[in-house]
Amino acid sequence: MRRAYLSISCVSSNFEFQRFQPSGYHSLPDIHHAKSVKDGCLHHLNVGNYVVSLYMKSRNLEYAHKLFGEMPERDVRSWTILISGFARTGACRTVLELFKGMQAERVCPNQFTLSSVLKSCSSLSDFRMGKGVHGWILRNGIELDVVLENSMLDVYVKCGELDYAERLFETMKERDTVTWNIMMGAYMHVGDMEKALELFRRLPSKDVASWNTIVYGLMQNGDGRSALELLYEMVENGVAFEDVTFSVAVGLASSLYVLELGTQIHGYLVRRGIENDGFLRTSLIDMYCKFGRMDKASLIFKRMPVRAKSKFTSEEMKTEIVSWSSMVSGYVRNGEHEYALITFRSMLREKIMVDRFSVTSVVSACANLGILLLGQNIHAVVQKIGYILDVHLGSCYIDMYAKCGSLSDALMIFEQTIDPNVVLWTSTISACALHGQGKEAIRLFELMIREGIKPNEVTFVVVLNACSHAGLIEEGFKYFSLMKEVYGIKPGTEHFTCMVDLYGRAGRLEETKEFIHANDISHLSSVWKSFLSACRLHKNLELGKWVSEKLLQLEPSDEGPYVLMSNMCAVNHRWEEAAAMRRLMQQRGINKVPGQSWIQLKNQVHSFAMGDRCHPHSTQIYSYLDELIARLKAIGYSMDAKLVMQDVEEEQGEALLGHHSEKLAIAYGIISTASGIPIRIMKNLRVCSDCHNFIKYTSQLLDREIIVRDLHRFHHFKHGSCSCGDYW
């Protein structure tokens, strides 16, 4: 986290959507309607059809339908105007009901009517109705053209009836590029790229849509290299790119992680002056977000045209929403959570419609930062928007509240969600595990199974982790066996790591060693990291050396084994070996991640590092902390100077320990809040044993609840004890 004071006050639950209503939108049809009534000619068929068509074009469907019902006489044109109009607006069910009414009045539809009806069947994936319409066409001898046959072909494809589509395709006397593209799309949808490519090669005349279809299909089916080859072939054949082609090409560069290709395409778009096309702009933003180049994405985003929202078309509004959403999710994906929140705040201020993708992204940002008040504000905003609490959103909330230290809120969301699925159950079990509630996590897991919900791979990772942190060895072994033998899930890296952690935390180091060799997992670095951590925890220096050698062979550039071994040597006063390990890190250019802690007070997040004096109130913080440590020593607290991990005098060691980042954050929290208010601290590394001891004594002395989230779990300190039971 940047050492900054992030303002969060602008994320307010008072956000309201701006609604857009075109003015004078229905004046023309109203005028013609009134005039025809006044002239007494509305009963004439042609006049009635004309006024109905005006209402349909202005999207006043209710008036059009009402006037249509009042017409004394209706012909095929009357029905077609209404059916095609409703089809254009996506009211597919209404289209099919109108078609049934048309048949009941024995009015014979024309090709245009039938095409609209078939389009609605495609949209609804209504195979029975589509097949019925096809049969009616054949029985009544309707003349078929390529457009109508394409509509029938599309019905069979959209309904997943590939056999019917293939038979119709082979019998068609006339085929255009749309015909071939529909069939290519059908084969790509089922993953049969061989047949799709065969059709593409057979296609007599390939237009840009055909090239777009095959390139996009290959990319979607995971064959990005072949898609790239066809893209180059498209260029060689002189096929002019259109906006969709550029968007597909940008997506292809993203999926293949070829930044050079993406920047080349971007440069070409700039030279052509179409960089600010909404569709292409969102594609470029998404591409740079995936490359981790948020600077480039932000630059494109800032160049978005500024004008009144009321002048945006519906498509322009959609692309703007996607652009904002991509920026929020991009910041979250790249760990820039503060900028994600700032962008979301601007999104609300600009009254941009917040889509569900933006919501889940910003909730994830709150979870990672661990800022409870901000998370609650975001939750309030989303409730005001009106999004239903479904399993996906519920899972995000549970994760957010759990990581922000409020297990009770996480459990409340679980209780409020209707028909929870395996994802929601897993999130709730994980929340309990994160807060050291191992037995409650197991109770929920057993209840989930009794409810008939089948656990997946992630569920078992979560429940094994819960057993590990709670020291429930027998239960952990039981669930590991259950996963394999009952549910047929093959253990993955995370499952093995959890088991090694389970044995290691319990001090059963020889069994840990045997487990690694018995399961042939000595090639997994995460397993050795967990084992080395256990060796440090139980002060087994010799075994720790052996494990660190194994780990350094696998990951010579990872700082973890160097730091752990250096710390172990220092604890055992083997300063030369500790110093040698640190020198080796320096020689190899490996830096230790600095520890940071942060606390949210009112509308700001305050961040601290060890010995940090950048805070405006640092003098007051250090003065109070020194006074607090003196008071704690009077009731039994003593610093473990060995944890400083370097050969210094005991008095110097105590000074360094006294200024760990979490102690500074806690001291600031105490002097800035009233007694009785819980203090919530977030830390990016594992809390050390001295700080853990310090916080226990502080909670006892001041009768304050202190909640600390470290790299692995939450610690709830109250009345001189911790929820982890000193088992972490």
In this prediction, residue 713 carries a pLDDT of 85
What's the CATH code of the domain at 72? Answer: 1.25.40
Distance CA 340, CA 332 (A): 6
Residue type, 595: G
Looking at the structure, do residues 570 and 676 belong to the same domain, yes or no?
no
Looking at the structure, do residues 143 and 263 belong to the same domain, yes or no?
yes
In this prediction, residue 581 carries a pLDDT of 74
pLDDT in tens, 537-590: 888 888 888 888 888 888 887 777 777 777 777 766 777 777 777 777 777 777
Residue 507 resides in a domain: yes
In this prediction, residue 371 carries a pLDDT of 82
Residue 544 resides in a domain: yes
Q: What is the DSSP string of 254-282?
A: HHHT-HHHHHHHHHHHHHHT-TT-HHHHH
In this prediction, residue 156 carries a pLDDT of 92
Distance CA 537, CA 540 (A): 8
End position of a domain, from candidates 471, 486, 501: 486
Please say whether the beta carbons of 182 and 122 come within 8 A: no
Residue of 400, 390, 388, 407 lying closest to 364 (CA atoms): 400
Which stretches within 5-60 are classed as H helix?
A: 27-39, 45-57
Residue 274 resides in a domain: yes
Strand partners, 596: 609
Looking at the structure, do residues 397 and 270 belong to the same domain, yes or no?
no
Distance CA 556, CA 525 (A): 11
End-to-end CA distance of the chain: 24
Distance CA 509, CA 403 (A): 31
Looking at the structure, do residues 307 and 448 belong to the same domain, yes or no?
no
Which stretches within 538-660 are classed as H helix?
A: 541-554, 559-571, 575-587, 618-634, 650-658
Sequence-distant (≥ 6) Cβ neighbours of residue 253 within 8 angstroms? 259, 261, 262, 265, 287
Residue 7 resides in a domain: no
Task: State how many domains the chain has.
Answer: 4
Sign of CA dihedral 493, 495, 498, 500: negative
Looking at the structure, do residues 511 and 527 belong to the same domain, yes or no?
yes
pLDDT in tens, 298-349: 998 988 766 555 556 667 778 888 889 999 999 998 989 889 989 998 988 8
Looking at the structure, do residues 265 and 313 belong to the same domain, yes or no?
yes
pLDDT in tens, 643-695: 544 443 333 344 455 688 999 999 999 999 998 889 999 998 888 888 999 99
Q: If you average pLDDT over each of 47-61, 214-228, 566-580, 619-633, which comes out highest?
A: 619-633
**Backbone dihedral angles phi then psi of residue 327, each to the nearest 5 degrees:** -65, -45
Please say whether the beta carbons of 682 and 635 come within 8 A: no
End position of a domain, from candidates 543, 570, 592: 592
In this prediction, residue 251 carries a pLDDT of 86
Residue 440 resides in a domain: yes
User: What global pTM score does this model have?
Assistant: 0.69
What is the three-class DSSP state of 336?
A: coil
Residue 697: pLDDT over 80: yes
pLDDT in tens, 52-88: 788 777 777 787 888 888 788 889 898 888 888 888 8
Location of structure tokens 């607090």:
628
Looking at the structure, do residues 170 and 315 belong to the same domain, yes or no?
yes
What distance lies between CA 680 and its chain's CA centroid?
26
pLDDT average, residue stretch 31-54: 64
Confidence band, pLDDT 50/70/90 cuts, at residue 705: very high
Please say whether the beta carbons of 486 and 459 come within 8 A: no
Residue of 390, 383, 339 lying closest to 362 (CA atoms): 339
474: number of Cβ within 10 Å: 8
Distance CA 371, CA 53 (A): 56
Please say whether the beta carbons of 555 and 540 come within 8 A: no
What is the three-class DSSP state of 709?
A: strand
Buried b (16+ CB within 10 A) or exposed e, 495-510: bbbbbbbbbbbbebbe
Residue of 718, 600, 575 lying closest to 668 (CA atoms): 600
pLDDT in tens, 383-404: 888 888 888 889 999 999 999 9
What is the three-class DSSP state of 610?
A: coil
Buried b (16+ CB within 10 A) or exposed e, 64-83: bbebbeebeebeebbbbbbb
Distance CA 522, CA 482 (A): 23
Sign of CA dihedral 140, 146, 148, 150: positive
294: number of Cβ within 10 Å: 20
Which helix (H) or strand (E) segment holds residue 590: the answer is none
Distance CA 50, CA 31 (A): 12
What is the three-class DSSP state of 716?
A: strand
Residue 370 resides in a domain: no
Looking at the structure, do residues 610 and 567 belong to the same domain, yes or no?
no
Looking at the structure, do residues 506 and 556 belong to the same domain, yes or no?
yes
Residue 14 resides in a domain: no
Residue 372 resides in a domain: no
Confidence band, pLDDT 50/70/90 cuts, at residue 442: very high
Distance CA 539, CA 343 (A): 47
Give the pairing type, strands 679-683 and 706-709: parallel
Looking at the structure, do residues 181 and 298 belong to the same domain, yes or no?
yes
Sign of CA dihedral 436, 437, 442, 447: negative
End position of a domain, from candidates 486, 520, 539: 486
Residue of 182, 178, 195, 176 lying closest to 155 (CA atoms): 182
Distance CA 385, CA 402 (A): 23
List for the chain the helix, strand, coil content (%; round to 5).
65, 5, 30
Give the pairing type, strands 714-718 and 679-683: unpaired
The two structure tokens encoding residue 653:
């060691």
678: number of Cβ within 10 Å: 16
Give the domain range for residue 432: 388-486
Location of structure tokens 């640190």:
582
Distance CA 416, CA 389 (A): 8
What's the CATH code of the domain at 579? Answer: 1.25.40.10
Sequence-distant (≥ 6) Cβ neighbours of residue 718 within 8 angstroms? 699, 705, 706
Looking at the structure, do residues 480 and 533 belong to the same domain, yes or no?
no
DSSP category for residue 3: S
Distance CA 170, CA 179 (A): 11
Looking at the structure, do residues 575 and 604 belong to the same domain, yes or no?
no
Distance CA 180, CA 204 (A): 10
Please say whether the beta carbons of 555 and 527 come within 8 A: no
